Amino acid sequence: MKIYIGSDHGGFQLKTHVIKYLKELGLDIEDCGCHTDEFSYDYPDVASITCDQFLKDENEKKFGILICGTGVGISMSANRNRGIRCALCNDMFTARMTRLHNNANFLAMGGRVLGTGLAEEIVKTFIHTGFSGEQRHVMRIAKI
């Protein structure tokens, strides 16, 4: 499984932690920036870079993870890209349900909202939960 991950300065610390966590799980990670929190970095820019890299990859087993201060701006930005279904999840129930019902392919989180332990659990839940594949959900996703 390949994970494309990006953050702005507000999500940089949590992104650094999540990358370490995912590497320990043995996953293939592409860090799409930013690379420091010493300067401001606009979340629409890193969302765009991360989505472009993800969409270029023809493998099926892949996810994106985006982190800004709240997770709001970066998820809004990601969802402007056709083919990206980015869910802002600051709890595990949402992470599970958005995989089951929305087949979300991007997870957004708030670096100034979550502690590292909860973020790890959210990431784990998101990447290990499959889409239910139920027809009503397939039909609704097609309407987006």
Give the residue, chosen from 8, 14, 32, 86, that forms a contact with ligand RB5 under the rule CB under 6 A. 8
Radius of gyration of the chain (CA): 14
Residue 15: CB minimum distance to ligand RB5, A:
11
CA–CA distance, 135 with 117 (Å, rounded to integer): 35
Q: Is 14 in the site for ligand RB5 (CB under 6 A)?
A: no
Question: How many residues interact with ligand RB5 (rule CB under 6 A)?
Answer: 8
Q: Is 27 in the site for ligand RB5 (CB under 6 A)?
A: no
Residue 128 catalytic? no
Contact pattern for ligand RB5 over residues 61 through 80, marking x by CB under 6 A: -------xxx-xx-------
Residue 86 catalytic? no
Give the residue, chosen from 4, 5, 6, 10, that forms a contact with ligand RB5 under the rule CB under 6 A. 10
Q: Pull the structure tokens for residue 8.
A: 């702005």
Sheet (strand 86-88) strand order = 28-31, 2-7, 62-68, 106-110, 86-88
Compute CA 133 distance to the chain's CA centroid, rounded to the nearest angstrom.
20
Contact 69, 111 (CB under 8 A): yes
* Positions that interact with ligand RB5 (CB under 6 A): 8, 10, 43, 68-70, 72-73
